[in-house]
Structure 1
Amino acid sequence: MTMHVTLRQLQAFVAVMEAGSFSEAAEAMHLSQAALSGLIRELESRVGVRLLDRTTRSVSPSAVGEAFEPMVRRVLASLDEALDSLSNLKDLRRGVVRLAAPEPLSCTLLPELIASYTARHPGIDVRFEDVPIELVLAGLQNGSTDVGFGPAGVAADDAIEAHVLWADPLWVALAPGDPLAEAASVSWKDLRATPVVNYMPNFSPNVLSQVPVRNHPRKIVPVHRVNTALSMLQVMRGAVVCPFITEPFVRGFGLAFLPLLQPQVSWRVAMFVRRGLSVSPAVESFLRFAREFTREKATGSAVGRGR
């Protein structure tokens, strides 16, 4: 049987139990004594049993009321805890954001982005997976990932929405002793006779489609990871095409890093979310922060490219 008991009725009962008086309980709840008495009568009517024994001078719990009190307190305490938790989520004192990104973003953009966000919102638990782009998209589809990052144009699924953050021009990494490294820039034509060690998925449709066929590299050596590609330049002559954001990473390998021109091709960085999905306050705040952060990053990157 369902009893339509209200929160206000339960609060009135506990207030009377604590005060031992209807007048003092009414004052504590900022109610008239008649209104408080009405709440108690309604509660007793709903539960079908007397909870308080009243006399002209005092009020005390009935046997049932005495047994009922700790249960009511647990209900009210659980509600307070639930409301506190909701407030913490809303005010970003608690929450979880699950991210995923492939290389090279996982070793360039994401560490700095995560560190900056958690410094502003230390109560938010940011969980990050560095996985290939196929697993980034799969995580968004199955719900194990809240926000993904990667190159724009890879999400063919209509359920995934891509937000382009900025377009980063492609540069080329070379061994310091390579003759091409002596110039101020490198053209695609210059790379025709140089083995290109490629880690980018869909390199031909996403990158080479923007380059005249006559200037395509004659030899492409495929690998899976950017650090593998860069490491190979230490043991063989070749080139690695990378977005400008990887500059610190490339320099860390002791390689030269030059603009790749004629034509200049850009690599668009995108943030992926599940289309039409309601997100938590923590995820919503991260999305806003990521847009602001990458806007500043793109501006700073443009200044750096103009050196």
Structure 2
Amino acid sequence: MNISFRQLDAFIKVADNGSFTRASDKMHLTQSAVSGLIKELESTLGIVLFDRTTRQLSLSAVGRHLLPQARRVLNEMQLFENEASSLTSLAQGQVRLAVSQFAASSMPAVIAQFSKAYPDISVTLIDCSAKDVLSHIHDIEVDLGVGTELSFLDTEDDIHADLLYELPFCVVIPEEHPLATQSEITWQDLLASQLITLKGPFIDQVTAELDEKITAHIQQAPYKVNFMSTALEMTRQGFGITLCLPYMPEVIDWVSANGLQMRPVAQPVRMRKFFIYQRASRALSPASIAFKDFLREYFASHFNDLQSF
């Protein structure tokens, strides 16, 4: 069986664009050339990849099943080319990175510093949910992922995780709030205050192993928003108090400059861990190794103060 790179590329382009015409524009080929590549692939495989009518082109049931695998194979082939070229020098190559929400906030500064040290290495960034970080790694769309701990990671045999840093959960309160006078703020203390929380897995991480009454109070918060910037501004405007991670020095500075306090919550101190993820079965390119080492050094030097915040 002889399947070519161009045939797989044509299959994916036609599937994504739903048209031979649009796919041919993307590939800079004639429509008949793209149609010929699809026919060759179908003949080689002995299957029909697309259902064709006079008005519509759509993936067949078999085509839908094979499309994700075709993407992986094409990504592997492209990765092979990239890694082969990057082996000519440790200072050249490409790094593809996926990061989850909180990690994404600090990543532009990391990439900027890395680019100064390695100007010939290109770093591309996808910001996504923590779960999608692993999907991008599985599909070989990225080399490395950075995100929070994932409860289902034990079932992912081909994912390797290295601890990057961990941060304490904090509460952000106005300076005139009654809790601001306390030397220590506990989770129990939050029961008397109206909360602003983030939607999604953030709440699950906050409430893990907390008392049921405290968990219910957090989960039933009257204000649930998508972005930390919204929660902080609502706190400044007096809607309530919010839970936060000291994930960026700029956030701490903003809190202080706007008449707010950020304080760790005790009894117990809850930490959120962030990891570097990669495929366990695939060796990293020299460029990716250089970036991974740089990540560790960067967060070791920049987040020490935050970890003991």
Q: So what's the TM-score if we normalise by structure 2?
A: 0.63
Q: How does 1:104-253 map to 2 (within 5 A)?
A: 104-108=102-106, 110-154=107-151, 156=153, 157-199=156-198, 201-216=200-215, 218=217, 219-220=220-221, 221-253=223-255
The CA RMSD over aligned residues, in Å, is 2.5
Unaligned runs of 5+ in 1: 1-84
Question: Residue in 1 aligned with 2:7?
Answer: none
CA distance in 2 between counterparts of 1:226 and 1:149 reads 19
Q: Please say which of residues 203-212 and 283-292 is displaced more in the overlay.
A: 203-212
Unaligned runs of 5+ in 2: 1-82
CA distance in 1 between counterparts of 2:168 and 2:254 reads 20
Q: 1:145 to 1:236 in 2, by over 3 A?
A: farther
CA distance in 2 between counterparts of 1:199 and 1:216 reads 14
Tell me the percent identity: 25
- The number of equivalent residue pairs is 219
Question: Residue in 1 aligned with 2:261?
Answer: 256
1:92 aligned residue (84, 90, 93): 90
Deviation at 1:177, TM superposition (A): 3.3
For 1:166-214, what per-residue CA distance to the aligned partner results, in whole angstroms no more than 9, with x for missing partners?
A: 2211111123332223334321111113233222633454321232224
Q: 1:112 to 1:256 in 2, by over 3 A?
A: same
CA distance in 1 between counterparts of 2:211 and 2:296 reads 33
CA distance in 2 between counterparts of 1:200 and 1:274 reads 29
Q: Is the 8 A contact 2:98 2:128 kept in 1?
A: yes
Q: 1:127 to 1:286 in 2, by over 3 A?
A: same
CA distance in 2 between counterparts of 1:185 and 1:237 reads 22
CA distance in 2 between counterparts of 1:154 and 1:98 reads 24
CA distance in 2 between counterparts of 1:165 and 1:230 reads 26
CA distance in 1 between counterparts of 2:173 and 2:249 reads 12
Q: How does 1:43-58 map to 2 (within 5 A)?
A: none
Question: Residue in 2 aligned with 1:268?
Answer: 273
Q: Is the 8 A contact 1:172 1:239 kept in 2?
A: yes
CA distance in 2 between counterparts of 1:141 and 1:268 reads 21
Deviation at 1:99, TM superposition (A): 1.4
Question: Residue in 1 aligned with 2:285?
Answer: 280
Q: Is the 8 A contact 1:102 1:132 kept in 2?
A: yes
Deviation at 1:217, TM superposition (A): 5.6
For 1:120-159, what per-residue CA distance to the aligned partner results, in whole angstroms no more than 9, with x for missing partners?
A: 1111111122222233222112222221111112553333
CA distance in 1 between counterparts of 2:164 and 2:195 reads 27
Q: Is the 8 A contact 2:172 2:243 kept in 1?
A: yes
Larger Rg: 1
Q: Which amino acid aligns with 1:125?
A: S
Q: Is the 8 A contact 1:92 1:123 kept in 2?
A: no
Q: Is the 8 A contact 1:199 1:226 kept in 2?
A: yes
Q: Which amino acid aligns with 2:168?
A: P
What SS does structure 2 have at the residue aligned with 1:207?
A: helix
Q: Which amino acid aligns with 1:293?
A: Y
For 1:85-112, what per-residue CA distance to the aligned partner results, in whole angstroms no more than 9, with x for missing partners?
A: 967644233211111222222123x123
Q: Please say which of residues 137-146 and 214-223 is displaced more in the overlay.
A: 214-223
